[in-house]
Structures are given as C-alpha cells and as structure tokens.
Amino acid sequence: MQIIQSTSNSPSFNLAAEEYLFSSQTDDLLFLYVNKPSVIVGSNQVVQNEVDVEFCRENNVEILRRMSGGGAVYHDLGNLNYCFITNRVEGKSALNADFLQPIVEVLHALNVSVSIGVRKDLWLPGVFKVSGTASHVNKNRELHHGTLLIDTNLDNLHKTLSPKNKNLLIKGTASVPSKVKNINAFLQESGSMFFIPEFLREIELYFQTTIQNIENTEEIQQLAETKYKSEEWNFKK
C-alpha cells in the first residue's frame, strides 16, 4: 500500500485531496493529514444542528463539509486524520471494519490498548472514544477515513460541537455524542506519551514503505477553491 502525507494544514485542501485520490487514482493507498482548527460535518448533515457556528466564527474555526456521511468532528493540530482508499474487492463487503486493523496494530505497538467499537470507531479502556470514522463507496472504490485524538484541544471540541440554535424542522443525519479522551492523556497515566511523528514512523514500519508527499497539488487546490471553500457546498440544507 502506498502512503501519502499532506504538507498542508488547510482543511479545504485536504478534503479536496481525499476526493481527488478517490476519483482520480487506481492504487490502494493511505492518506495522512493534519488540519488547523476546523469542524468537518458529514455530507448529509445540517450545519446549524451540529455546530456552534457563532463560536466557530469568533474563534477562527473553519466549517466544512466532507464527501462521506457520518457525524460532525473537530480537527486541530493535535489530531491526525487517516484515510484508506482502496479498490473494491468482489464478494467483500465495504461495510466491515477491516480497514482499521493497521491503525489498531500501530497503536498497540505504541502501548495504546484500543479496541474497535460497533460503529467502526476506536475506544480506550474506560469507554473513551479516540477515533471516529466515516465512509464513501462507489462501484469501484471505497474510502474510509477517521480522526485520531492524540493531543487535541477537547475544550474547543466540545464548544464547537454544541450547537445553540438548532432547527429541527430541517432534517439531516444527527451526530452520536460520545465520551472522548486524548491518547496522550491516557498514556500519561502510565508515564508515557507520543506525538504524530512517532505514529508516522510506526506506520512506515507496519507497511514497510516510506511516506511520500502528495502530488498534483494544483488540481487539488482547484477542487478546494471551487468546492470545499464554497458556502453553497459547506452550508447546503
């Protein structure tokens, strides 16, 4: 599997990169990126019902919509995003959690004892969620991506995802709230911790390959400008 890393912290660029890699490539790959503070809602969600829009605007937290379904998530520089994009395999369901196994094994190698939950998410002992996932599938390709809370600002996470002006007359997919915890807060209880570069080194060891920087950035930037920076796309009803 090819591993690609974004050198950008722009959420619009990285969401566009996911779509570009899904629709324009044919290789199986893992795409890794870190976004500056932002809230990413699912493709069928109502922003007003999932996000405190006023708090986000006052605190320079961008609000964007991704191509996959699922619930709203908060990103910042303490959160690593992973995205597996593969070709469909005939006779194999795209709805299982097999894609999470590399992440689980790498975390276990870093002494983080996560387990896979019923919603294809990752949980620490004590019922704390550290990774939520979402998927997008067509007849040829499947995309599964998730967050990984390593050292995220959880105060901002809760504030951005606590809407004050819901309009329940507008129907959309609702997020499912969960108790969350940073991986490093869990590790500190046993006197250790790690950061994103260490995780990336373990990923390289797991797949026995070297992480490459993403290419074709001009095409991705164009998609970011025309779609993922668009109010029409991000705030559609």
Amino acid identity, position 48: Q
How many angstroms separate the CA atoms of 118 and 123, rounded?
Answer: 10
Inside any domain, residue 236: no
Amino acid identity, position 148: L
Inside any domain, residue 88: yes
Inside any domain, residue 32: yes
Q: Do the beta carbons of residue 100 and residue 122 sit within 8 Å?
A: yes
How many angstroms separate the CA atoms of 150 and 209, rounded?
Answer: 23
Q: How many helices (H) and strands (E) does the chain have?
A: 9, 12
From first to last of its 237 residues, the chain has per-residue pLDDT tens of: 999 999 999 999 999 999 999 999 999 999 999 999 999 999 999 999 999 999 999 999 999 999 999 999 999 999 999 999 999 988 778 778 999 999 999 999 999 999 999 899 999 998 999 999 999 999 999 999 999 999 999 999 999 999 998 877 787 888 888 999 999 999 998 888 899 999 999 999 999 999 999 999 999 999 999 999 999 999 987
Q: What is the pLDDT of residue 45?
A: 96
β-pairing, 62-65 vs 38-41, is parallel
What are 233-236's contacts with CB under 8 Å, separation 24+?
233/65, 234/41, 234/47, 234/63, 234/64, 234/65, 235/47, 235/63, 235/65, 236/65
Looking up residue 52, the CATH number of its domain turns out to be 3.30.930.10
How many angstroms separate the CA atoms of 95 and 59, rounded?
Answer: 36
Q: Is 217 helix (H, G, I), strand (E, B) or coil?
A: helix
The number of distinct structural domains making up the chain is 1
Q: What is the pLDDT of residue 193?
A: 87
Q: What is the pLDDT of residue 126?
A: 81
Range of the domain at 166: 2-230
Other residues' Cβ atoms within 10 Å of the Cβ of residue 12:
22
Scan for tokens 């309009």, then name that residue.
167
- Residue 137, phi then psi, degrees to nearest 5: -135, 140
Q: What is the pLDDT of residue 231?
A: 96
Contacts of 98 (CB under 8 A, 6+ apart): none
Inside any domain, residue 164: yes
Closest CA to 119 of 50, 161, 178: 178
Inside any domain, residue 222: yes
Inside any domain, residue 237: no
Q: What is the pLDDT of residue 192?
A: 85
**pTM (predicted TM-score):** 0.95
Q: Do the beta carbons of residue 86 and residue 75 sit within 8 Å?
A: no
Other residues' Cβ atoms within 10 Å of the Cβ of residue 90:
4
Q: What is the pLDDT of residue 100?
A: 97
Q: What is the pLDDT of residue 211?
A: 98
Token representation of residue 211? 């992480």
